[in-house]
């Protein structure tokens, strides 16, 4: 079996949780959700997963299916977990800068936005309390900008405190982290078939490219699992 | 009470907290009654969904306090987007955990509570009134989230008795108890009013979210959260919600709200 690009992305998202132990995984979006469920079924069996509403799931179900419950996690208790720190969130990002500052609030001036988005949501609290990663399904200069319009998620250059832990950024092209000079984005790996030049052309600022490898291809058993978790291949619509 | 009587007790310029979350268990019958009223210049505090979108689109809101505005199955509320993009709406956009903390502070009659969320983010730039506080024990700087006292709270639950004891039957209480504790006047709409014994018998004691010292008025309003969800009584009416969102592209606010309010 040859993994598709979407499946490479799912495996890269699963790898985000590899060493997390017994914490709450909070993936936002389809590919990170598949990644967290794949991790739970392979390398990270102790992860806690929620149904996205108020129930902790005892098993990682396929998309659209239910699973037995193992606990209760209404929104108010999610805020408790955020403050407690035993959580790894994978958020989306309308904009992301080279220090990992993220914007999901609005585009343009905040008093009169060109485009109103969600609002800062839980991004400020997430990023100063526990491990945070990002998923960007369309890696482009529109997302990777020199400066975000609103800092919703806190980056490495803003005195973010002792619990700040920006882990990685997974995109449809590559995996990045924040170990570049001065806590800037560094290109860790490009997905099979993607060149470093392509990633640079789709990024609106310079990246540290001193040590780039190829993103690992998921193994046979992982590909089979991904296809069972997402039998309708919704992942291919998010990452063609 | 009726929804109209509840709105009759509100006044222009009040700060009103609206319970529920996004497009979930919102007190939409009470929101509709506000839409029909001449009320204006409200400050609305909400985990925002179509409640905030509608009130903003109808010109009822001077200031919105929120962490997000979303229709859940539709990521952005297009009416709220339009109002924001026109400019002029005063907003206090904060981390959603800060909103909970501000409600807790108000309910505890404290001027503020410390929280880490918001530090180092643009929440501080966008809300220049926010202050930091230094811990007297460790010297650590934290955000001093000011209390969010409400003139009125509007919430919708599944089941209540006539005195204001009430329970939720779905999986999530959201923050409806905190909205009531933070408010001077507290109004509850519910799917069914039953006697106290039936209310207590309808589920476990910990599902009794509100007691009668937290509620001033009860409105029986079957379907009163629609088109938002009110599980297990009903799921979100996705078709009605889509119509609300689509109208933002195709129609004026007036023609949408006319047909929306005529449905009752």
- Give percent above pLDDT 70 in chain A: 100
HEC per residue, chain B: CCHHHHHHCCCCCCEEEECCECCECCCHHHHHHHHHCCCCCEEEEEEECHHHHHHHHCCCEEEEEEEEECCCCCCCCHHHHHHHHHCCCEEEECCHHHHHHHHHHHHCCCCEEEECCCCCCCHHHHCCCCEEEECCCCCCEEEEEECCCEEEEEEEEEEECCCCCEECCCCCCCCHHHHHHCEEEEEEEEEEECCHHHHHHCCCHHHCCECHHHCCEEEECCCCCCCCEECCCECCCHHHHHHHHHHHHHCCHHHHHHHHHHCC
**Mean pLDDT computed over B167-173:** 98
pLDDT surpasses 70 at A176: yes
Task: pLDDT band for A198, please (50, 70, 90 cuts).
Answer: very high
pLDDT in the model for residue B251: 77
Q: Is A50 on the interface with B (CB under 8 A)?
A: no
pLDDT surpasses 90 at A35: yes
Over residues B33-59, the pLDDT tens digits come to: 999 999 999 999 999 999 999 999 999
ipTM value = 0.96
Query: How far is the alpha carbon of B197 from chain A, nearest alpha carbon, in Å?
Result: 27
Q: Is B245 on the interface with A (CB under 8 A)?
A: no
Cβ distance of A113 and B67 shorter than 8 Å: no
Cβ distance of A115 and B69 shorter than 8 Å: no
Q: Is A72 on the interface with B (CB under 8 A)?
A: yes
pLDDT surpasses 70 at B264: no
Cβ distance of A112 and B86 shorter than 8 Å: yes
**Which of A:138-167 have CB within 8 Å of B?**
150-154, 158-161, 163-164
Q: Which of the residues B81, B121, B176, B177 would you substitute to probe the A interface, choosing the one with the greatest number of A C-beta atoms within 10 Å?
A: B121
Task: pLDDT band for B146, please (50, 70, 90 cuts).
Answer: very high
Give the predicted TM-score (pTM) of the model: 0.97
Taking contacts as CB-CB distances below 8 angstroms, the residues of chain B near A106 are: 84
Interface A:B, Cβ pairs < 8 A: 129
Over residues A129-146, the pLDDT tens digits come to: 999 999 999 999 999 999
Q: Is B121 on the interface with A (CB under 8 A)?
A: yes
Over residues B194-238, the pLDDT tens digits come to: 999 999 999 999 999 999 999 999 999 999 999 999 999 999 999
Q: Is B93 on the interface with A (CB under 8 A)?
A: yes
Cβ distance of B118 and A124 shorter than 8 Å: yes
pLDDT in the model for residue B249: 87
Over residues B73-131, the pLDDT tens digits come to: 999 999 999 999 999 899 999 999 999 999 999 999 999 999 999 999 999 999 999 99
pLDDT in the model for residue B262: 87
Q: Is B98 on the interface with A (CB under 8 A)?
A: yes
Taking contacts as CB-CB distances below 8 angstroms, the residues of chain B near A91 are: none
How confident is the prediction for chain B on average, in pLDDT?
97
The chain A residue lying nearest B117, using CA atoms, is A125
Cβ distance of A125 and B96 shorter than 8 Å: yes
């Amino acid at each position: 079996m040859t993994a598709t690009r979407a499946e490479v992305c799912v495996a890269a998202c699963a790898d985000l949780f590899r060493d997390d132990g017994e914490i709450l995984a909070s993936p936002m979006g389809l590919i990170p959700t598949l990644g967290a469920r794949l991790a739970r079924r392979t390398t990270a069996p102790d992860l806690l997963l929620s149904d996205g509403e108020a129930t902790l799931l005892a098993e990682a179900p396929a998309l659209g299916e239910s699973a037995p419950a193992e606990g209760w996690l209404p929104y108010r208790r999610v805020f408790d977990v955020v403050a407690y720190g035993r959580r790894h969130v994978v958020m989306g990002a309308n904009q992301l800068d080279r220090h990992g500052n993220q914007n999901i609030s609005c585009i343009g001036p905040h008093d009169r936005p060109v485009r109103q988005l969600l609002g800062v949501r839980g991004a400020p609290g997430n990023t100063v309390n526990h491990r945070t990663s990002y998923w960007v399904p369309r890696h482009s200069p529109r997302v990777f900008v020199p400066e975000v319009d609103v800092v919703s998620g806190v980056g490495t250059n803003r005195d973010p405190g002792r619990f700040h832990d920006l882990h990685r950024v997974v995109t449809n092209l590559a995996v990045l982290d924040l170990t570049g000079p001065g806590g800037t984005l560094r290109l860790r790996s490009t997905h099979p078939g993607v060149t470093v030049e392509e990633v640079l052309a789709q990024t609106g600022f310079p990246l540290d490219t001193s040590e780039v490898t190829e993103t690992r291809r998921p193994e046979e058993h992982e590909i089979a699992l991904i296809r069972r978790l997402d039998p309708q291949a919704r992942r291919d619509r998010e990452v063609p | 009470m009726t929804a109209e009587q509840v709105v009759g007790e509100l006044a222009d310029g009040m700060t009103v907290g609206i319970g529920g979350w996004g497009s979930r268990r919102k007190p939409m019958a009470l929101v509709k009654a506000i839409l029909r009223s001449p009320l204006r210049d409200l400050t609305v505090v909400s985990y925002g969904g179509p409640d905030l979108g509608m009130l903003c689109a109808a010109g009822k809101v001077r200031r919105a306090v929120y962490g997000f505005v979303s229709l859940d199955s539709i990521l952005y509320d297009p009416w709220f987007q339009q109002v924001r993009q026109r400019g002029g709406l005063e907003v206090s956009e904060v981390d959603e955990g800060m909103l909970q903390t501000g409600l807790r502070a108000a309910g505890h009659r404290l001027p503020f509570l410390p929280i880490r969320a918001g530090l180092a983010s643009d929440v501080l730039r966008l809300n220049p009134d926010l202050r930091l506080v230094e811990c007297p024990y460790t010297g650590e700087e934290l955000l001093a989230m000011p209390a969010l006292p409400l003139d009125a709270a509007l919430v919708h639950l599944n089941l209540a008795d006539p005195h204001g004891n009430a329970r939720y039957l779905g999986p999530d209480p959201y923050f409806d108890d905190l909205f009531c504790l933070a408010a001077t006047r507290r109004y509850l709409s519910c799917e069914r009013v039953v006697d106290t014994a039936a209310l207590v018998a309808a589920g476990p004691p910990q599902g009794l979210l509100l007691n009668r010292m937290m509620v001033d008025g009860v409105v029986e309003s079957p379907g009163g959260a629609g088109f938002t969800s009110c599980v297990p009584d009903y799921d979100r009416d996705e078709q009605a919600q889509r119509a609300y969102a689509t109208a933002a592209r195709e129609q004026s606010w007036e023609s949408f709200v006319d047909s929306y309010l005529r449905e009752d």
